[in-house]
């Protein structure tokens, strides 16, 4: 295995300091940058192997990196790399599929339970003396409803969507998923989830959870019209991609009270501006894109990424997305 110069261009999110880079360092001359930004080109000069999570590698940048031989994306989605331009330059690009399934599915219900039970508000009421001052054995600040018997609609029934279904059913929820296309008839079988047309899913679900990839067809999937289809008592959960949701339309629906609440782990711009309307909306919970980031998920991510780099160096690349 010929030694190569390996550069991590934005390592902080994957490894803020609790994981070991030693297995990667054993594969070549390793340089780690927590972030790159405007220094991306300079950081990549002379690199043979690059690891990137969110730093973008477009055709123009690739043309300025004659030594680059392999790109390992430390994520499942690879839209940060111009795959066709990389292929034209004979640069294979790998990803890490399925590493965060459990972590993301868990976070869906962290958001849903907080929206439904308002646990943090009730904890605050205990700490600040409102329960003590109330004089009653029980204090309820807002209505709490059972998830059992409610309908969860999943848009994007891949590995994460399927894991969300399993957890939802453990709560006693009914689960439906969006039909693969408008032309496909709704179906149900013991082995598979019931699939329904998108409009029916929006109109009948008490909770909608988004897990589809971001494409031209799914951008602004949740728009003003479809928000209008939803029950006023329904919740929207998005742990997929920010642009799946028209944020202005969602903010308007929440402000008008035509939607009970939303839980978002992703936004169109990350990090958002300080005046982003959804950060101030009481009916909206926003977490800082961390659904993927459990210790176990990041450990799997780094381990498979190292395997991807090792496979390339041995002449047997794996998880290549631009063959």
203 is catalytic: no
Q: Which two tokens stand for residue 91?
A: 């640069």
Our answer to whether residue 165 is catalytic in this structure is no
Report the distance separating Cα 300 and Cα 24, nearest Å.
13
Active site (annotated) includes residue 270: yes
**Burial grade of 159 (CB within 10 A; 0-12, 13-18, 19 or more):** middle
- How far CA 176 is from CA of 231, 233, 247, in Å, comes to 16, 18, 24
Long-range CB pairs of 289-293, under 8 A, 24+ apart, other chains included: 289/265, 290/107, 290/265, 291/100, 291/103, 291/104, 291/106, 291/107, 291/108, 291/239, 291/265, 292/75, 292/99, 292/100, 292/103, 292/104, 293/13, 293/100, 293/103
Cα 86 to chain centroid, rounded = 25
Q: How far apart are CA 27 and CA 4, in angstroms?
A: 8
Question: CA 181, CA 170: separation in Å to the nearest integer?
Answer: 28
- Active-site annotation holder among 89, 122, 276, 289: 289
What string of DSSP letters covers 56-118?
A: -B-HHHHHT-TT--EEEESSS--TTB-HHHHHHTT--EE--TTTTHHHHHHHHHHHHHHHHH-
- Annotated active-site residue in 121, 169, 270, 296: 270
Burial 95-129 (b: 16+ CB within 10 A, else e): bbeebbbbbbbbbbbbbbebbbebeeebeebeeee
The residue annotated as part of the active site, out of 241, 247, 298, 300, is 241
Q: What element of type H or E holds 203?
A: helix 198-204
> Which residues are the active-site residues?
241, 270, 289
């Amino acid at each position: 295995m010929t030694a190569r110069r390996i550069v991590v261009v934005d390592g902080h999110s994957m490894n803020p300091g609790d994981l070991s880079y030693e297995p990667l360092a054993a594969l070549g001359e390793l340089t780690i940058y927590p972030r790159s930004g405007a220094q991306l080109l300079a950081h990549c000069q002379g690199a043979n192997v690059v690891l990137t999570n969110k730093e973008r590698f477009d055709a123009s940048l690739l043309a300025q990196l004659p030594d680059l031989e392999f790109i390992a994306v430390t994520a499942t989605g690879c839209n940060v790399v111009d795959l066709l331009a990389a292929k034209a330059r004979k640069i294979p690009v790998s990803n890490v599929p399925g590493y965060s399934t459990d972590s993301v599915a868990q976070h869906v219900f962290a958001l849903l339970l907080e929206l439904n039970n308002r646990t943090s508000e009730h904890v605050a009421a205990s700490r600040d003396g409102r329960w003590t001052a109330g004089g009653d054995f029980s204090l309820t600040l807002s209505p709490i409803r059972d998830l059992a018997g409610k309908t969860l609609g999943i848009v994007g029934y891949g590995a994460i969507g399927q894991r969300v279904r399993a957890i939802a059913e453990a709560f006693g929820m009914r689960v439906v998923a969006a039909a693969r296309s408008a032309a496909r008839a709704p179906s149900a079988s013991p082995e598979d989830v019931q699939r329904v047309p998108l409009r029916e899913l929006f109109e009948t679900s008490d909770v909608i959870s988004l897990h589809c990839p971001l494409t031209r067809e799914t951008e602004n999937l949740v728009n003003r019209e479809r928000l209008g289809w939803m029950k006023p008592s329904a919740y929207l959960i998005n742990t997929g991609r920010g642009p799946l949701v028209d944020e202005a339309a969602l903010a308007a629906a929440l402000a008008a009270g035509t939607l009970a609440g939303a839980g978002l782990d992703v936004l169109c711009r990350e990090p958002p501006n300080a005046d982003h309307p959804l950060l101030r909306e009481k009916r909206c919970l926003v977490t800082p894109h961390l659904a993927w980031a459990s210790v176990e998920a990041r450990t799997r991510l780094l381990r498979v990424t190292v395997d991807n780099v090792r496979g390339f160096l041995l002449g047997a690349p794996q998880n290549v997305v631009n063959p």
